[in-house]
């Protein structure tokens, strides 16, 4: 077991999980391209797109556990929202995670690229006034939320993601959920989604055990730290940071595809 390999995977997991806790996402949107490109560039390992998707599915599962635990007493977790979107995305992510074994590597990368571009467009759509709504007065279309969560779950399950990088802009733009509640609740919804994706990946033999365990350790350390940082930042700053990260990774993936 090479020390350079362990350090590289740990750093990737730490960075992804820190941003996960800070922005309310699972971290796969960041970890997918990093795992695909960095270990290979450094000569410590080469992962296929299927292996990367399997590793990120495990990482997201544990990163979101840490994030939800850190937010448990803040009053930002909307249980109704989590219930409707969580069940739907769990089903969708299992379908996507199980079905991804039938896709070629290029197909998984294309799905990631499409999801990332959609997320970039939605994150920069104006969201005036949503953070002025009192938490106890938040209302949303429950069945629209469930339907959108299922669709996101299928795509996210394919790439081993929890889907929060799409859930967050959907909750902000379409459902009009305040930013702090969106970040906290999306972590809980993404946790449920990652269960489906993880089961789908493991049952089809797409998970590399050692790098997954290293990512888990990094996630449990970094995610709560990211939550603490996120609480100190302005909500508009959080949205801009998320948009820049998603846009950068989307461009890189599309450049590699073509």
pLDDT exceeds cutoff 70 at 86: yes
Write out the H or E segment, with its range, that includes residue 194: helix 179-203
Q: What is the pLDDT of residue 74?
A: 67
Q: Tell me, what DSSP letter sits at residue 24?
A: T
* Mean residue pLDDT across the chain: 80
Q: Tell me, what DSSP letter sits at residue 160?
A: T
Q: What is the pLDDT of residue 135?
A: 66
Q: What is the pLDDT of residue 11?
A: 92
For helices 164-173 and 105-123, the axis angle rounded to 10 degrees is: 30
All residues at 6 or more sequence positions from 156 whose CB lies less than 8 Å from its CB, including other chains: 28, 89, 92, 93, 96, 115, 162, 163, 166, 193, 197
- As a whole-number percent, the residues of the chain with pLDDT over 90 amount to 7
Q: Tell me, what DSSP letter sits at residue 133?
A: S
Residue-wise pLDDT for 97-123, tens only, equals: 787 777 787 787 788 778 778 777 776
- Is residue 215 within 8 Å of residue 209, measured between CB atoms? no
Q: Where are the alpha helices (DSSP H) in the chain?
A: 3-23, 28-42, 49-71, 79-99, 105-123, 142-159, 164-173, 179-203, 209-232, 235-257
Residue-wise pLDDT for 231-247, tens only, equals: 777 767 766 777 777 77
- pLDDT band at 1; cut points 50, 70, 90: low
Reported pTM: 0.72
């Amino acid at each position: 077991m090479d020390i350079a390999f362990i350090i590289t995977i740990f750093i990737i997991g730490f960075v992804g999980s820190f941003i996960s806790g800070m922005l309310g996402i699972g971290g796969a949107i960041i970890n997918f391209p990093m795992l695909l490109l960095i270990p290979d560039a450094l000569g410590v390992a080469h992962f296929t797109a299927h292996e990367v998707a399997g590793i990120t599915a495990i990482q997201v599962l544990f990163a979101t556990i840490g994030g939800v635990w850190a937010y448990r007493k803040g009053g930002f977790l909307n249980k109704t929202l989590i219930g409707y979107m969580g069940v739907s995305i769990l089903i969708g992510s299992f379908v996507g995670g199980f079905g991804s074994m039938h896709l070629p590597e290029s197909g998984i990368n294309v799905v990631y690229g499409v999801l990332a571009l959609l997320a970039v467009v939605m994150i920069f759509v104006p969201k005036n006034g949503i953070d002025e709504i009192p938490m106890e007065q938040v209302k949303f279309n429950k069945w629209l939320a469930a339907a959108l969560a299922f669709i996101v779950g299928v795509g996210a399950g394919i790439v081993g993601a929890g889907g929060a990088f799409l859930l967050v802009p959907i909750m902000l733009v379409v459902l009009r959920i305040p930013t702090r509640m969106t970040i906290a609740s999306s972590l809980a919804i993404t946790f449920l989604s990652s269960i489906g994706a993880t089961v789908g990946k493991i049952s089809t033999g797409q998970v590399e055990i050692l790098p997954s365990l290293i990512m888990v350790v990094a996630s449990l350390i970094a995610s709560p730290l990211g939550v603490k940082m996120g609480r100190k930042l302005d909500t508009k700053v959080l949205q801009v940071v998320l948009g820049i990260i998603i846009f950068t990774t989307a461009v890189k993936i599309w450049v590699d595809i073509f």
